[in-house]
Chain A
Amino acid sequence: MVSPQVIDEGFVVTDAAQVSRPPSPFQKVADKAFRRLCWGLAWLSVLLVAFIVLRIATSAVPAVRQYGLDFLSGTTWDPNKEQYGILPEIWGTLYSSLLALLIGTAFGVAAAIFLSEGYLGQFVFQTLKVWNLQLHPLWGKLPDQMEGLLKNLIELLAAIPSVVYGLWGLFVVIPLIRPACNWLHMKMGWFALFGTDLSGPGMLPAVMVLSIMILPTITAISRDALVSVPSKIRMAAYGLGATRWEAILAVILPTAARGVFGGVVLAFGRALGETMALAMLVGNANKISLSLFSPANTLAALLANSFPEAHPKEIGVLMYAALVLLGITLLVNVIGSAILQRASAGLEGGK
């Protein structure tokens, strides 16, 4: 500890003018310049977004004029005949994203409940109790550590680059599910979902990998929403004699519903714009099919595959497709973040 005398001495020798003096002209200019710089860079990031949208839109204008709305309903893509239509891609984008969302939400929300209700911590605690170690200084921390580890593991799913998921899907998922898919097609081919056989890349492997990729988003946001449910509400439900799942289904999930829903919408936005895993796994076939095993295409995969070797005329058309993708994802993302904002505002009011 510093004794008061030392501080006193320090002040005695120092001239008051040296401790504090008005800013010099240079400092005033530097201050103004720095503030202007921050202001300017803040504007720059806004202008960047505007510029991106404008740049894509203006590049698409010639194609929009030439093909109009027929572009959205056309089903052929033939650069030689200059016939372009992206209905199969729009269908593939929505179909794959919705299916992935279905699987991802089921597993993501389940994982969020598992994490927020302390199942793992309780399990580890009970196991430790068998050896009477639950209050041990070292082992007693294990329940919390395991919960943290599980949360990090699920977040790790989001850290793996999508191209690695694509590689994994190509060499692990497709060979793994192919026999089962072809058996399903043989036995139940009359059912629209199993209408074709899986001859390599196709909708189902793409959807499976896509749902794994959006799961961490759903889990992270849902877990935040579930954890922030006021504990008073939780305790009230248990106090009335509700079982754990009666409390979850009737009280906790409805209270956190908006947050969970916002997370699902944001994950939908991510699924719509996901490119690499789909470009590698979906098969790039210009087809509209209900079958899970048929190859298909998505807007993002179309852009990824056609852009590198497109000739100048095709570029304009691809810009039009990019504009459509931009419109869809912007809409979904703005809706998602609006829901999340209202969800957190609603919970703060209820505390």
Chain B
Amino acid sequence: MPQEALVGQQGDLFPPDMNPFEGVDFSGLERSLRRPRTLVSVLLSGLVTAMTLLALIPLFSVVWMLVWRGGRKLSLALLTQLPPAPLEQGGGVGNAIVGTLIIILLATAISIPIGVLSAVFLTQAKTGNRLADVVRFAAKVLTGFPSILAGVFAYGAVVLVTGGFSAIAGAVAVSILMLPTIMLTAEDALRMVPWRMQEAAIGMGATPAQTAWMVLLPTAIPGILTGIMLAVARGAGETAPLLFTALFSNYWPISRGHLHLMRPTPSLAVLIYNFAGMPFENQVELAWAAALVLVLLVLVANLVGQSLSRRQVRE
């Protein structure tokens, strides 16, 4: 009986014959599931919870399948041997792992200087600089760029020009997709460098280049590396741009001490795509094992990136 309780508490303020809460229906303020608005609220909360849990099922399913089907094949042979011919047993994905690393390394080497130094330009440019706005717009366009079109471009610009499928062509295609991530995260990281540090450098008589090299970049390096690792994680998993630029090969990309950059190069992603469509049990098993290796590679890159981002100096 809230009504009487309230009157009883404030009996000193109001005379007993005067009830200020007269005619107020306090039962209407109680939370009751019989009221449609409360019921709707509770039901919708339940619905949202169920949908969120449902959305996580694919993640657990993918991880479970990778561990269960891919984990069975995981062995030293998987990491060191060449892919088997159809109907052959055993074999591994060693050349694809090496090929993926070569392509990613080349792509990172292309996209780091462009991305990081463009970011330096973006942070040093005065507000309202036309070129800076255009560069940012270009980076945003590249963020949403379909990966297959990067492959189409590299095919037209590298494969047709050099006359063959190669690791270089694949790296060019992948670097286009890595560039915006590197550039935009590097810009954020550089902007987080405390302005006081830059002012101190300028006050000491440092030139803008010295400020950038000795203060800005070293301070922002954890953030920049985060962007690079995230870009590597994205680039390693890309298949579409490699399909008709690096193509695939059943041989080692390095043989007798020579690195064959101008030949078709195998990669984990393309290997998964090719083997998934084959009617042979052994190849399908290898595709799952390769998927496990690829996901582990991507996860490690992601985790390294995230742990680096915690070291970023913030104002």
Contacts and interface: CB of A to CB of B under 8 A. Distances in A.
B146 A107 contact: no
Nearest to B35: A243
Interface stretch (A7-15, A78-86, A137-145, A167-175): A167-175
A153 B237 contact: no
A243 B45 CA distance: 11
B209 A160 contact: no
Interface string B168-182: 000000001001000
Chain A: interface residue count, which band? 35 or more
A168 B156 contact: no
A166 B245 CA distance: 20
A272 B66 CA distance: 27
A127 B140 CA distance: 44
B255 interface: no
Nearest to B39: A243
B148 A304 contact: yes
Interface stretch (A34-42, A64-72, A191-199, A289-297): A34-42
B310 to A, nearest CB: 13
Nearest to B55: A107
A193 to B, nearest CB: 21
A44 B40 CA distance: 56
A311 to B, nearest CB: 13
A326 B149 contact: yes
Nearest to A212: B58
Interface stretch (A227-235, A332-340, A342-350): A332-340
Interface in A195-212: 212
A interface majority secondary structure: helix
Contacts of B151: 303, 307
Interface stretch (B7-15, B18-26, B131-139): B131-139
A285 interface: no
Nearest to A27: B207
A161 B294 contact: yes
Interface string A263-276: 00010011011111
Contact of B144 (A39, A215, A248, A336): A336
Residue in B29, B48, B204, B247 with the greatest tally of chain A CB atoms within 10 Å: B48
A170 B69 CA distance: 14
Contacts of A270: 144
Interface stretch (B101-109, B117-125, B220-228): B117-125
B231 interface: no
B145 A46 contact: no
Interface in A36-69: 37-39, 41-46, 48-49, 51-52, 55-56, 59
Contact of A52 (B49, B117, B153, B233): B153
A172 B302 contact: no
Contacts of A248: 44
B142 A325 contact: no
A75 to B, nearest CB: 22
Residue in A153, A276, A279, A329 with the greatest tally of chain B CB atoms within 10 Å: A276
A119 to B, nearest CB: 6
Contacts of B41: 243-246
Contacts of B65: 168, 171-172
Contacts of B236: 161
Residue in B38, B44, B52, B65 with the greatest tally of chain A CB atoms within 10 Å: B52
Nearest to B129: A42
A280 interface: yes
B240 A275 contact: yes
Interface string B204-221: 110111101100000000
A162 B237 CA distance: 7
A269 B148 contact: no
Residue in B145, B183, B269 with the greatest tally of chain A CB atoms within 10 Å: B145
A180 B5 CA distance: 60
A5 interface: no
Interface of B: 29, 37-38, 40-41, 44-45, 47-49, 51-52, 54-56, 58-59, 61-62, 65-66, 69, 113-115, 117-118, 120-122, 124, 131-132, 134-135, 138-153, 155-157, 176, 179, 183, 204-205, 207-210, 212-213, 233, 236-240, 243-244, 247, 269, 272-273, 276-277, 284, 287-288, 291, 294-295, 298-299, 302
Shortest 7 CB-CB distances between A and B: which pairs? A273-B146, A161-B237, A333-B144, A34-B209, A31-B207, A110-B51, A275-B240
